Chain A
Amino acid sequence: MANVAISGVCNLRCPYCFAGSYLAASREQGAAFIDAAAFEQRLDFLVRSGIPEARLIGGEPTLHPAFPDLVARARARGLHVVVFTHGLMPPRALDCLAGLPADACTVLVNMNAGAASARPDPAEAAQRIETLIRLGGRATPGFTIYRPDFDLAGLLPVVLGTGCRPAIRLGLAQPMLGGGNAYLHPKQYRAAGARIAAFAREAAAAGVALQFDCGFVRCMFTEQELAVLEQGGSDFAPRCSPILDLDLAGAASHCFPLTGIVEAPVGPGATAQDLRAALARETAPYRLAGIYARCSGCPEKARGACTGGCLAVTMRRFRGGPVRVIVPQALQAFARS
């Protein structure tokens, strides 16, 4: 897996957006959109790495003025196209995606209401539903959890009434390492887990499966709740690993929350496996810990059943200083060893 950023702009200002560092860097570099030559290099990288899909991210990827051309280039390489969108896309982008064979693309539509402003916007919601209807089986609605009082109930009628895939992709908003975005605090995970599990029962009864993005932890669910998720056909697997987000400048970051912090240069001939290994080495010391103080001693983490949550959250727990010692003159010998 690797995500290719094709846009450095977005026309929404979602409070939980963890692409803020990336978007700010894009603005500073004056980079708004990827050009065709750079996109071809990214496609070369994907093909060289044996990755069968082009996962297009932004900013908002569908705002790219040549979006249909980029999609056509990816398809010409035989790649499945995955688009991460807020769903309020320009007609040319919607027409392009709606014209692809249903098995040639996956459009993940973020359904969070009120993302553009503090108040829910009925026109926005209506446009997202229209997008789902146009895309039908190409689309999977998603929802990003960033506050403890989230409500998923409204998503079921949308899934059942639009002809989109019978699934909902859940994301957990994670903090950018530098801060600045809204996210769900780990202390709220257990309550969120109970709420998700309750919804999973309703979803399963309606034939809708839950899909989970990275950063969830096992202990946010009880054993009974985990069984509910499994019975409902969810793909729940607590994970966090280098996603490989390729930015407009061609650098590969571990993931958006760690943009500018954990990155690897994409050299000529580099493959996703090379980069992932480099990033895994760089982050290995932090992987000893997890998002909670109990994670490092957790048997589930030890046996690989949980990664201990999002690395960005874990790294925020670490600090430098103020460890310091003044060794008396008489004991300076220790320092000469």
Chain B
Amino acid sequence: MSAPPAGRSYALAPRVRWVQDADRIIVADAAGSRGIELRGVEAAVWSWLSLAYPYAWLVEHLALLTGTPAAEAAAHLRGVLDGWLAHGLLVPEAEGEAPAAAAPAAAAGDG
């Protein structure tokens, strides 16, 4: 696996909380009291991001998951990320901020 390319980093908006359920991911956005259910490809991408897989890995495995060429998977991924950015679920991290390694949730759930 290659090193993450140098580029812009996006992270979960501070007001957003999420939980992995049996067949979906539920994202709770305190702004506007919105709840969003992610399923299928979106849920897969979200969970991969939570595990800190790099962008190239996401493209490669999304292509495998959807059975599409890498270029198509990359476009698909961009669309997913674009949507989350537009909804404010992801926000740009401060310039120069080093991405932290994925870590277990501090307040692990009870479920």
Contacts and interface: CB of A to CB of B under 8 A. Distances in A.
Given A291-B111, A334-B85, A328 B20 contact: no
B68 interface: no
B37 A296 contact: yes
Given A318-B18, A328-B5, A285 B109 contact: no
Interface residues of B, number: 58
A310 B94 CA distance: 37
B50 A322 contact: yes
Interface in A169-199: 175, 179, 185-187
Interface of A: 175, 179, 185-187, 281-289, 291-297, 313, 315-329, 331-335, 337
Given A323-B12, A328-B7, 11 more contacts: A320-B16, A321-B100, A322-B50, A323-B46, A324-B11, A325-B9, A325-B49, A326-B10, A326-B54, A334-B82, A335-B8
A317 B56 CA distance: 30
Contacts of A185: 110
A330 B78 CA distance: 12
3 closest residue pairs by CB, A with B: A317-B109, A285-B35, A285-B28
Interface in B6-53: 6-12, 14, 16-24, 26-30, 33-37, 46, 49-50, 52
Interface of B: 4-12, 14, 16-24, 26-30, 33-37, 46, 49-50, 52, 54-56, 58, 74, 78, 81-82, 85-86, 90, 92-93, 99-103, 105-111
Nearest to A280: B33
A296 B20 CA distance: 10
Given A282-B33, A328-B7, A316 B110 contact: yes
A296 B22 contact: yes
Contacts of B37: 288, 296
B72 to A, nearest CB: 14
A62 to B, nearest CB: 33
B3 to A, nearest CB: 10
B102 to A, nearest CB: 5
A335 B85 contact: yes
A313 B110 contact: yes
A318 B49 contact: no
B33 A289 contact: no
Contact of B55 (A284, A297, A325): A325
A322 B50 CA distance: 5
Contacts of B24: 296-297
A287 B24 CA distance: 14
Given A285-B33, A293-B111, A326 B21 contact: no
A319 B7 contact: no
B10 A335 contact: yes
B28 A332 contact: no
Q: Of residues A186, A313, A327, which shows the largest number of chain B Cβ atoms within 10 Å of its Cβ? A: A327
Interface centre among A319, A322, A323, A328 (most CB of B within 10 A): A323
Contacts of B23: 296-297
Given A295-B21, A335-B92, A325 B10 contact: yes
A260 to B, nearest CB: 15
B99 A324 contact: yes
Contacts of B99: 324, 326
B81 A284 contact: no
Given A288-B35, A334-B81, A324 B28 contact: no
21 contacts: A186-B110, A284-B35, A289-B21, A292-B111, A295-B21, A297-B24, A317-B19, A319-B17, A319-B108, A319-B109, A320-B16, A320-B18, A321-B12, A321-B105, A323-B46, A324-B102, A327-B7, A327-B9, A328-B5, A331-B74, A337-B85
B18 A319 contact: yes
A190 B35 CA distance: 29
